[in-house]
Structure 1
Amino acid sequence: MSELTAHLDVPLDRGAPSSSRHAAIAVLTGWGFRDDDWLDAAAVVVSELVTNAVRHGGGCISLQMEAHDGRVVVSVADGSAVVPRRRDPDGIGGRGIALIEALSVGWTVQNHQGGKRVRVELHPCPSDGEPSGGRA
């Protein structure tokens, strides 16, 4: 199977997490991923990444998804070079990194155009194996 990729520029506003979540699910479904629980987990990861970028990042935000050999990687880039870290939950937040860690194989941070890109490898989709589909 060839690599499938999607790149979306995300508006920097309060609706960004929801818009990104819906767009990601549409792309993943279009690629052939069908497991509802897996798609829900992917949606949470996308939402947390974009929420963190809106709250703590700044600059332009972009969402990228890649699927190859049964692996799916979701990444979000923003204009801040500050590396995210796990913190104690409070009334406002602090649960994002813990959720990402619970719902993924792992995550990394890369330098990206003066800011950063946070890459998250999702757990393999249990029922689909490799997706079928085209390029988004």
Structure 2
Amino acid sequence: MSELTAHLDVPLDRAAPAAARRAVTAVLAGWGFRDADWLDAAAVVVSELVTNAVRHGGGCLALHLESHDERVIVSVADGSSVVPRRRAPDNGGGRGIALIEALSEGWSVENYRGGKRVLVELVRCPQGGAA
């Protein structure tokens, strides 16, 4: 079984979601994931995770990618122990968890260094795993 990992410390500011999207897309493409729609979906998941961490988290923001053959897991850790939850959408947000659920195989939360880490397993890339 091949395994690839990447760890990125992301600045906790308004530019974090865009920076994380660019970095994750570049890493996944470098690992051989080529399907443009799949990469776009991965970027949306990352953006939502990082946006939630910036808005509702605290402390440091760490993004981690793992690829195990065809399985890709994205996780974002922050300093808040408050577990994300689905809520009704309004002008202030509330669509993130629904987007993550629509674009992934599933998600979970675990305690992490006094805060939490949200893990998302992406749907399988249509072209298979990384080369």
Q: TM tier, shorter chain?
A: over 0.9
Match in the other structure for 2:2: 2
For each residue in 1:61-88, what CA deviation from the matched residue of structure 2 results, as whole angstroms up to 9, or x when unmatched? 0000000120000000000000000000
Matches for 1:14-33 after TM superposition, within 5 Å: 14-33=14-33
Match in the other structure for 1:110: 110
Q: Aligned pair count?
A: 131
* TM, length-normalised to structure 2: 0.98
Matches for 1:88-99 after TM superposition, within 5 Å: 88-99=88-99
* TM, length-normalised to structure 1: 0.95
Match in the other structure for 2:57: 57
User: 1:113 is matched by which residue type in structure 2?
Assistant: R
* CA RMSD after TM alignment: 0.6
Match in the other structure for 1:130: 129
User: 1:130 is matched by which residue type in structure 2?
Assistant: G
Match in the other structure for 1:86: 86
| Identity over aligned pairs, percent | 76
Match in the other structure for 1:72: 72
CA distance in structure 2 between the aligned counterparts of 1:60 and 1:42, rounded to whole angstroms: 22
Shift of 1:130: 2.1
